Amino acid sequence: MMTSPFEPEPVPSAWRHRHLLDLERLTAEEIRLLLDTAALFKEATDRCRRKLSVLQGSTVVNLFFENSTRTRTSFALAARRLGADVVDFSASTSSLSKGESFIDTARNLEAMGIDAVVVRHTTPGTPHLLAQHLDVGVINAGDGPHEHPTQGLLDIFSIRERLGDLAGATIGLVGDIAHSRTARSNLWGLLKLGAKVILCGPPTLVSDRWRELGVEVSHDLDAIVPRCDVLNLLRIQFERQSMRPFPSVREYAHLYAMTRDRLRRAKPGLLILAPGPINRGVEMTAEVADCRQSLILDQVTNGLAVRMGVLWLTCGPREPGAATVTGRPGIAARIQP
């Protein structure tokens, strides 16, 4: 892997945030900036295979209080591809088991001279709490069922690569909306970029209250499939459910699994996303997961690009009071090999 020479450059002043906690509080412009930055990194690194040095000397801590393989690996790789050092920290190996509070744990890590914390936790709002107590950047890698902003961004990034503008596109989020942080981050990002969102699943997983946001709620997948340009099939999160919200997996799959038959009734160009890990046979059949319209593997590659963009924007060098607001990050020219 080659390292390209790079002079650190301030992040664009249009990006004002020190943390990435959720998409709900970002503007459409900020979301576009995140996506554009990810696109530049994807291009400059040859689909995220090559290494840069824009965060050389920085240390990123993966602070994971909940199991994760893909997101943790993706963040670690993204940080390394930017030249940063990465420290993995998981709750099971920490002094949390000795009763230390997670805020104390994070403060201790901060005192070791780190630059950013990527945090995953089972409780909504934990990254927000950390951001109040730490001076370093905090990136939310999933807080319970609340948000998973980089997942939302990479889903939207993947859709945008295929559809271009999202305004007017109809995107169905199907499945366990109640327990899905991916659903919430997608929802905010998509709404801000002007897409039409349909939430679909049984009433025990898709509350009618979502309509208060102006979102369409449907309990009938067959009715919405022909109208969608994109379907994002969300995993049933058995581990978060206190009581199973449907009688059987068989019945759920009968009503809500994406199958070849349902695919036949869709628009020809329908795109299929799934944040994974997928339960084959529950959210979709194997043939749908592997069909040519499936973006599942694109999502993984794009996840790296998005996380590089996020890490750079939140912990890249800043120019105090930088006045130039360019729509695109000034990094573009500098990361050419």
Residues forming contacts to another protein in the complex (CB under 8 A) are 24, 101-103, 121-126, 128-129, 143-147, 179, 181, 184, 207, 209-210, 212-213, 242
Q: Which amino acid is at 184?
A: R
C-beta atoms surrounding 302 within 10 Å = 27
* Tokens at 276, concatenated: 């994974």
To the nearest whole angstrom, how small is the minimum distance from the Cβ of residue 126 to another protein?
Answer: 5
Q: Containing H/E element for 96?
A: none
The answer to whether the Cα torsion of 159, 78, 150, 90 is positive or negative is positive
To the nearest whole angstrom, how small is the minimum distance from the Cβ of residue 32 to another protein?
Answer: 22
To the nearest whole angstrom, how small is the minimum distance from the Cβ of residue 24 to another protein?
Answer: 7
Contact assessment for residue 232 and residue 173, using Cβ atoms and an 8 Å cutoff: yes
Within the chain, residue ranges assigned H as helices are 28-44, 70-81, 102-111, 126-133, 149-163, 181-192, 221-224, 249-256, 260-264, 286-289, 296-315, 331-334
* Residue 88, Cβ density class (10 Å: 0-12 exposed, 13-18 middle, ≥19 buried): middle
CA distance 142 to 123: 9
Q: With respect to another protein, which residue has the nearer C-beta, 145 or 189?
A: 145
Q: With respect to another protein, which residue has the nearer C-beta, 90 or 207?
A: 207
To the nearest whole angstrom, how small is the minimum distance from the Cβ of residue 132 to another protein?
Answer: 9
Q: Which amino acid is at 221?
A: L
* Residue 212, Cβ density class (10 Å: 0-12 exposed, 13-18 middle, ≥19 buried): exposed
Q: With respect to another protein, which residue has the nearer C-beta, 73 or 241?
A: 241
Q: With respect to another protein, which residue has the nearer C-beta, 33 or 187?
A: 187
Q: With respect to another protein, which residue has the nearer C-beta, 12 or 245?
A: 245
To the nearest whole angstrom, how small is the minimum distance from the Cβ of residue 255 to another protein?
Answer: 22
CA distance 85 to 194: 37
To the nearest whole angstrom, how small is the minimum distance from the Cβ of residue 172 to another protein?
Answer: 18
Q: With respect to another protein, which residue has the nearer C-beta, 27 or 101?
A: 101
Q: With respect to another protein, which residue has the nearer C-beta, 237 or 293?
A: 237
To the nearest whole angstrom, how small is the minimum distance from the Cβ of residue 213 to another protein?
Answer: 8
